[in-house]
A and B are shown apart, each in its own frame.
Chain A
Amino acid sequence: MRAMVLKEFRQLRRDRRTLALMIMVPLLLLIVFGYVARFDIKQIPTAVVGAQAEMVAGLLPEPFDVRIVDSAGDRATGEDLLRRSRAIIAVVAEPPLTILVDGTELFAAQSARAANLVGGASGALPIPFELEVLFNPELSTAVVMVPSLIGMVLTAIGTVITSLGVVRERQEGTLEQLAVMPLRPRDVIIGKIAPYFLVGVLDMAVITAAGLLLFDVPFRGSWLVFAAAAFAFLLAVLGVGVLISTLSHTQGEAIQLAIMTMLPQIMLSGMIFPLTAMPWGVRWISYLLPLTYFVQIVRGVFLKATPFDALGVPFLALILLAVVVLGLAVLRFRRDLAPAGRRRATPAEAAS
C-alpha cells in the first residue's frame, strides 16, 4: 500500500493542474465566500428626484447612498434612472412621497427593508410615504435568476464542448492532418467554431424559451438588443473554449481548465452575489469576465426594458472581451496550424 500511496503522490505532484484545482479552488471559494458572498448591502445607490429632492436627500439614513439629486425630475425620471441601473432606489420627493425600488436587485431591496425604511409605516423617514417595487413586484428570485442562468448555462456548455472538440482533434492527430491539407488556417478555425456557434445559438433560444415559459419570466425589452448581446457573449464563450483547447493536451486537462474559468464566472459575475456588495479587491476580477456584462444586459433587457443607449458600457466591454479572447484564441490556434515559415515559403520550392 505504501508503494501505491507514494506512486499516487508522485503522479499528483507532476499533475500541476489537478494540484491547482485541489489547492487553488478551495482557496478561491474561501476568499469568495468570505469576502464576496454578502447579501447585506452596505450602500444602496439612491436617486432623489422632485421639487423637494434636496430636503429629502438630507433626511435619508444609511444605507442609502444618495448619488443623484434632481429637483427638476419627476416620477418618470426616477423610473428611468432605475431602468438604466443608475440607482436601485429612487425617491420621488413630491407629495405624495413615493419610494421606487428596483425589484431586480433582490438583495438591495431586502437591505432597504432591513433598514426599516421600505415596507413599514414606522420607517426612518419622518413623513409618510408610498412604496413601489418596480419590475419584479413580488421580489421573485426566479425572475431575477433565470435570465442570468441563460448566460451561465451557455458558459458551461460553450466552453466545455468547444474546448473538447478542438482538443480531441489535437489528441487524435487529425489537427495536424488538417494543417497539411490545402486549407487556410482561417478556414480551419472558422469551420471549427461555426458549428459550435450555431449550436450555441440554438441552445440559447431553447433555454430562453424554457425560462420564459416555465418560470413566468417577463421579457420587456428589445429582442434585437438581446440578440446582439447573445451574439457577442457567445463569441467570447467560444473564444474561451478555443483558448483552453490551445492550452490543453488532453480532454481531461481541457475540462479542468474549463472548470477553473467557470467557477469565478459563476461566483463573481453578479449573477448570485451583487457586485455592489463585493470589496474592490475582488470586484475588479468581475469586470474581466464576460458573464458579468451579459448578466447586466439580460437583466436589464428582460426585466426593465433598459434601452440600448443605457447599456453602452456593458456592451462595449462584452465586445472588447469577445474580440480579445477570440483574437488570442485564433492567434494561438493559428500557430498550431501554420508555423511562420510555412506562410513565408513559396509554394513550389518551400525552403524553410
Chain B
Amino acid sequence: MTWGVEALGVSFGRTVALEGVTLEVPAGQVTAVVGGDGAGKTTLLRVLAGLVLPNRGTARRPERERMGYLPARAGGFRDLTVAENLEFVTSVCRLANVGARAGDLLERTGLAPFRERLARDLSGGMRQKLGVIMALLPEPALLILDEPTTGIDPVSRADLWRLIALAAARGAGVVVSSAYLDEAERASWVLVLHEGRPLLAGPPTRVVSSLTGSVVELDTPTDRRRAWRRGPRWREWRPGGDPAGIAPALEDVVIVAALAAAERGTP
C-alpha cells in the first residue's frame, strides 16, 4: 500500500503554505521531506496525519489504529514516566503482548535504564526517542515523524535513524521531515520543499545527478550571489558547467536549486 498526498494545496488566510505538492510514501521505505524553516514540511505532514484539511488535493492514509505520528518537539507526556507513556499507548491502541517489543525498543535506544524516569526529566534526545518509540509501538502502516532529530546530539540522531530504518524494515511507510540535508541521503526518496512548493524530488542519488551546471570549490568566491561556505572553503555554482566541477553533495544540489529558482523569479 502506498500512502501519500497528491496535488496538495493548503492556504492559511492569504498565506500559501503548500502548492502543487505530491508525495508518495511506499510501504517499507523511508521518505524524507527536507527544506528550510517555513518551507511547509510540518504542514505537509499534518495534512498526511489528517490534522489539517487541504484546500486542494487528496491525502491517502491508513485508519488511525495503523498510523504513528510524532509532532515536532513532542516526546511523550511529560508528567508520565517512560513506562507509563508506553502503557498509555498500549492501552489506547489496544495492543496485546507488546511487553517484549517495548523492552527491545527501549534497549536499542538506551532508554531501558530510565523506565521509571518522568518524561519531563529526560534529556531532549531521550524524549525524542521516547516519542518515536511511542509512535512505533503499534507497528503502524504509516509512520509520520516531524523533525525527530532537530536539536539532538549526533549519537541520539544515529539511534533515532536506526529506529526509523527498523520501522521501514518491518513494513511501515515512513515519512520523516528534517532540516538536515545529510539525513535525507539515508532515505529512499527525498522531497525538497522551498516556500511551500516542490523544488526537487526523487531518490537522493538521482537528485544529486540532476544538477544543472557544475559546482566548484574555491578559497575566494568569484560571484558571491552564487557562492556558499562549506567548511573553511567556498563552493560556487557555475550554471554553464565547469571542467573543474566537483562531485556535489545533496546539500549543494538543494542550494543550487534554490538559487536557480530565485534567479528565475519563481520558487
Residues of chain A whose beta carbon lies under 8 Å from any beta carbon of chain B? 168-169, 172-174, 176-177, 179-183, 339-342, 345, 347-352
Contacts and interface: CB of A to CB of B under 8 A. Distances in A.
Contact of A348 (B52, B62, B74): B62
A42 to B, nearest CB: 52
A352 B54 contact: yes
B49 interface: yes
B171 interface: no
B93 interface: yes
A339 B59 contact: no
A181 B93 contact: yes
Contact of A350 (B51, B60, B76, B77): B60
A179 B46 CA distance: 11
Contacts of A350: 50, 59-63
Contacts of B50: 180, 339, 341-342, 345, 350, 352
Which among A174, A340, A342 has the highest number of chain B CB atoms within 10 Å? A174
B51 A352 contact: no
Contacts of B122: none
B42 to A, nearest CB: 10
B63 A347 contact: yes
A181 to B, nearest CB: 5
B21 to A, nearest CB: 14
A340 B53 contact: yes
Contact of A181 (B58, B59, B64): B64
A50 B154 CA distance: 91
Interface residues of B, number: 32
Contacts of B76: 174
Nearest to B65: A182
B237 interface: no
29 contacts: A168-B78, A172-B77, A173-B71, A173-B74, A174-B77, A176-B51, A176-B74, A177-B70, A177-B71, A177-B131, A179-B51, A180-B49, A180-B50, A180-B64, A183-B92, A339-B50, A339-B51, A340-B53, A341-B53, A342-B50, A342-B51, A342-B53, A348-B62, A348-B63, A349-B60, A350-B50, A352-B47, A352-B53, A352-B58
A196 to B, nearest CB: 14
Give the most central of A168, A181, A345: most B CB within 10 Å.
A181
A174 B71 CA distance: 8
Contacts of B175: none
Given A180-B64, A339-B52, 15 more contacts: A172-B78, A174-B71, A174-B77, A174-B78, A176-B51, A176-B71, A181-B64, A181-B93, A182-B92, A182-B94, A340-B53, A350-B60, A350-B63, A352-B50, A352-B59
A351 B64 contact: no
Interface of B: 46-47, 49-54, 58-65, 67, 69-74, 76-78, 89, 92-94, 131, 134
A307 B59 CA distance: 59
Contacts of A182: 63-65, 92-94
Contacts of B131: 177
Given A172-B74, A351-B59, A180 B51 contact: yes
A180 B54 contact: no
A173 B49 contact: no
A30 B65 CA distance: 55
A351 B51 contact: no
A77 to B, nearest CB: 58
Contacts of A345: 50
A349 B73 CA distance: 29
A24 to B, nearest CB: 27
A347 B141 CA distance: 13
A168 B120 CA distance: 12
A342 B63 CA distance: 10
Nearest to A176: B71
A350 B46 CA distance: 14
B181 to A, nearest CB: 24
B51 to A, nearest CB: 6
B71 A351 contact: no
Nearest to A169: B77
Contacts of B78: 168, 172, 174
Contacts of B47: 352
Nearest to B92: A181
B69 A177 contact: yes
A180 B67 contact: yes
Most chain A CB inside 10 Å of its own CB: which residue of B61, B78, B92? B61
Nearest to A346: B63
B138 to A, nearest CB: 8
Nearest to A180: B69
Contacts of A173: 71-74
Nearest to B88: A181
A142 B70 CA distance: 53
A317 B183 CA distance: 59
Contacts of A172: 73-74, 77-78
